[in-house]
Amino acid sequence: MFVSPAMRKVFEDVASRHEMYALFNRHAKAPFDDNRMNGTRYVGEWFEISEADHDHMFEILPPLFYRGDMFAMREFLAASVTSVFFALMIDDRSRWFHGYCDLGDRQSPDRMRAEIITRESRPVRAMNRQEKLDHIWSATGPAFRGYADGRFPADLRNRQIVLVCPSAQGKIWKLLDDLTDEEIAAKLPVQFRLLPETIAA
């Protein structure tokens, strides 16, 4: 069973254009179940991008809406879920972000804006466990990640899985949520391994 977390950062860095498009497709191989069709699998995810990519996306199509520091893409990803792009001033510095919002909830973009500002205004750079898992999923190649299938018990189907390599067992598929602290550290980029951990909101 898939359960969508709350609004969350899914990539711990400024995404390059290549990474941005890969992040748009981070659920490309997800099963076509209700969670994908109604947008639940996507809604709430956000990450940082460059100013150039923010402006590039603005120029692709006339936005669905544009107000102040945000605009929404006209094309919907699923149901009423679409891309919203933000240009925010955080700690006296301009930064740019992308997130998936459910426009069926008119306050969704404003809540995401507030969430991003709160998250990125922390006095010390840190990651909670869910952010680490999301970054691992985002940074893992499609050949090394997937969704639980018939090899897993029925109640675990469609959950995210990644390939791990325990020294004694060779390569095995494991639920992303079940990674140990040691496995998480091994899969994170070196610069993120020693970041302090925060408690998820």
Whether residues 145 and 80 share a domain: the answer is no
Query: Of 101, 120, 139, which residue sits at a domain end?
Result: 120
Would 201 be classed as within a structural domain?
no
Kindly give the parts of the chain with pLDDT less than 70: 1-5, 167-169, 194, 198-201
Q: What is the pLDDT of residue 171?
A: 85
Q: What is the pLDDT of residue 201?
A: 44
This prediction's pTM = 0.91
Would 35 be classed as within a structural domain?
yes
Provide the number of structural domains found in the chain: 2
Whether residues 57 and 148 share a domain: the answer is no
Q: What is the DSSP string of 142-186?
A: GGGEEE--TTS-GGGTT-EEEEE--TTT-SEEEEGGG--HHHHHH
Whether residues 18 and 50 share a domain: the answer is yes
At residue 16, the 3 state secondary structure works out as coil
Query: Of 120, 151, 179, which residue sits at a domain end?
Result: 120
Q: What is the pLDDT of residue 167?
A: 65
Q: What is the pLDDT of residue 117?
A: 97
Whether residues 77 and 170 share a domain: the answer is no
Q: Determine the structural domain holding residue 147 and report its residue range.
A: 129-193
Would 1 be classed as within a structural domain?
no
